[in-house]
A = this chain, B = another copy of it.
Amino acid sequence: MLSVNERKSLIETALGHQPLDLLLRGVRLVNVYTGRIEPASLGIKLGRIVSLDAEGLPAEQVFDAGGRYALPGFIDTHVHIDSTLLTPEGLAELIVPHGTTAMLADPMESANVAGLAGLQALLVSADRLPYHLWIEVSSRVPTAPGLETTGGEIGLEEVRQILTWENCVSLGELDPSKVLGLRDEYLAKVVASHAMGKIANGHAAGLQGRELTAYACGGLSDDHECVDDQEAFARLRLGMPVLVREGSTERNLEPILNGVLSEGFDTRHLMFCTDDKHPDDIVREGHIDYMVNRAIALGIPPIQAVQMATLNAAIHFRLDQEIGSLGIGRWADVILSDRLEQIVPSHVFFKGRLAAKDGQLIEAVPPGRYPDWFARTVQVTRGKQAADFALPASGAHASGPVAAGPVARVRVIELYPDQIINRPGQALLRVVDGNVVSDPAQDVLKLGVVERYGKNGNIVITFVHGFGLKRGALASSVAHDHHNIIVAGVDEADMAACVRAIETMQGGLALAAGGEVIGQLPLPLGGLMSAAPASEVIEDLQRLNGAARELGCVLPAPFMTISFISLPTVPELGLTDMGLVDVRRHVLISPFLE
């Protein structure tokens, strides 16, 4: 927000009494307020637009855009920035060259790891990034209170405090169970956000009819979980803008916009988000620019597509005096593109400085000054020995035809490829020395979650089907949303080796076989993120995936898949450090069947 003296400087510059920092001459301005293309020359001071007709004003520097289109920088309206494996710095090189200059992030992962201090740690260098990083304060940390151990909590008081931060724009996505269940704490968070003049973001996955309406009565302002046009229209008519999502797995743009086009609906209350898009997908496809271009290709007029990526979002989040247009006083976040029908940012200016050109950042982003403790969040008391992963069959009811010794009938989490949901299955497993063991022949692996905050040494074990691993084990300290260590394996010694490696790295991904670690990717920041450059992290991850395939793994992205099995809120089953969760009934259940 501009101070009085900064305002004075802008005024004087607009009047020609002080020089512009930059005269950006020769643009075809995509004016998202008027919906017109107009010739313009942009005057920039203190990173802000101070003139659209700057020719003739004194200027320190001049940049000739050569008649290119000038658009406002793009806005991602909902993104879990800390589940990308990259730091906000690392992400910059992927998104800024694509024209994304504002991320509205719900940093739920750092909050689960370290609460309010985790958010502060994540944001410590946010003002040195070449994009705006605003916060949708996580409304539910932990996600499933009483069913998981987390490193931190964000209660009502923390939410109230964070809502006062200037970089906090909203209360982050609140799931329907808290609203329809009339939970005071969560409704009080909504009310607190409204009291600050901020909105509360929705998460109305699958809701319809009276439940959807009742959810809207809770004060939630939007939804980013619509999967098709019917869901989108059902929300718009209630007065809920729609954040159209196109992430790595959730791809809702085409079904929604095809409906918008065939029905001739207004696009004013539509905007874009990625929610979760992996670095390699960003490299391959692009970011918000990909969505804008997809929208144009489907038939949305280019200016409307740009408005969805800019002004619509800024107005919804009440940021329209800061971003979302090249209006006077707004940040000079400017994309130049040769064409409007297919936007390819040739230059991206952030706060009036050239930040990226021809797909590359102009200069490296300075490393984040993360506090030391944020790279030391992993403390494991159990799970470092093979014996810790023994699952005694005592208490299990052996059943079925007894073939070559004792067996146990167990529940199995059955994975769907490329989806974060799963279904319950079962298997008969051998019991060796009183311990139920994995059976790679059936593709049933042992799955464990190891508490990693040094709080209680919890360790729980159940089984999973779908990885295809023939030997070894893989593990991750990215384990939504509690981010304990999750590990799947054929061999208990390999599982323990993975956990030890993750403790040594203070977070990361690990692969072990034959009792030894054969691949690893350190994620020391909160146990979630690497400070290495994006290209390096992507390459390391690909190498790790390749090594997992050599152990028999049939999943394209096993470390992504394993990170979502632990979610106690996505059907049907989840595994936390407290046990196996029946998601629909919100209770813990036994790994054994009768």
Number of copies: 2
Q: B33 contacts A321, CB within 8 Å?
A: no
Which B residue sits closest to A326, measured CB to CB?
A: B239
Q: B15 contacts A327, CB within 8 Å?
A: no
Chain B residues positioned under 8 Å from A2 (CB to CB) = 191, 194, 219
Which B residue sits closest to A188, measured CB to CB?
A: B4
Q: A197-B196, A197-B198, A198-B197 are in contact. Are A328 and B33 (CB under 8 A)?
A: no
Listed stretches A176-184, A273-281, A340-348, A363-371; interface member: A176-184
Listed stretches A6-14, A432-440, A541-549; interface member: A6-14
Q: B50 contacts A237, CB within 8 Å?
A: no
Q: Which one of B1, B10, B191, B237 contacts A195 once the chains associate, using CB atoms below 8 Å? A: B1
Alpha-carbon distance A569/B297, docked complex (angstroms): 54
Chain B residues positioned under 8 Å from A188 (CB to CB) = 4
Determine whether A325 belongs to the interface, using a CB cutoff of 8 Å to chain B. yes
Determine whether A589 belongs to the interface, using a CB cutoff of 8 Å to chain B. no
Which B residue sits closest to A197, measured CB to CB?
A: B197
Q: B33 contacts A239, CB within 8 Å?
A: yes
Question: Within A216-266, which residues are at the interface with B (CB < 8 Å)?
Answer: 216-219, 221, 233, 236-240, 265-266
Alpha-carbon distance A392/B38, docked complex (angstroms): 62
Which B residue sits closest to A211, measured CB to CB?
A: B15
Q: B52 contacts A269, CB within 8 Å?
A: no
CB distance from A36 to the nearest CB of B (A): 8
Q: Which one of B31, B197, B315 contacts A237 once the chains associate, using CB atoms below 8 Å? A: B31
Q: A187 contacts B4, CB within 8 Å?
A: yes
Chain B residues positioned under 8 Å from A326 (CB to CB) = 239
Which B residue sits closest to A200, measured CB to CB?
A: B321
Q: A187-B7, A198-B197 are in contact. Are A329 and B12 (CB under 8 A)?
A: no
Q: A217 contacts B329, CB within 8 Å?
A: yes
Q: A184-B4, A321-B221 are in contact. Are A327 and B214 (CB under 8 A)?
A: no
Alpha-carbon distance A237/B484, docked complex (angstroms): 51
Chain B residues positioned under 8 Å from A327 (CB to CB) = 216, 238-240
Determine whether A190 belongs to the interface, using a CB cutoff of 8 Å to chain B. yes
Q: A219 contacts B329, CB within 8 Å?
A: yes
CB distance from A433 to the nearest CB of B (A): 54
Q: B34 contacts A233, CB within 8 Å?
A: yes
CB distance from A97 to the nearest CB of B (A): 26
A-B pairs with lowest CB-CB distance, top 7: A239-B327, A197-B197, A14-B214, A216-B328, A10-B217, A4-B187, A238-B328
Q: Please list 8 pairs of residues, one from A and one from B, whose beta carbons are closer than 8 Å in the complex, sorted by A's number.
A: A2-B191, A7-B219, A14-B210, A15-B210, A15-B211, A33-B239, A34-B233, A34-B266
10 further A-B contacts with Cβ under 8 Å, apart from A2-B191, A11-B218, A52-B213, are A4-B184, A11-B180, A11-B214, A34-B233, A50-B213, A51-B213, A197-B198, A216-B329, A268-B268, A318-B318
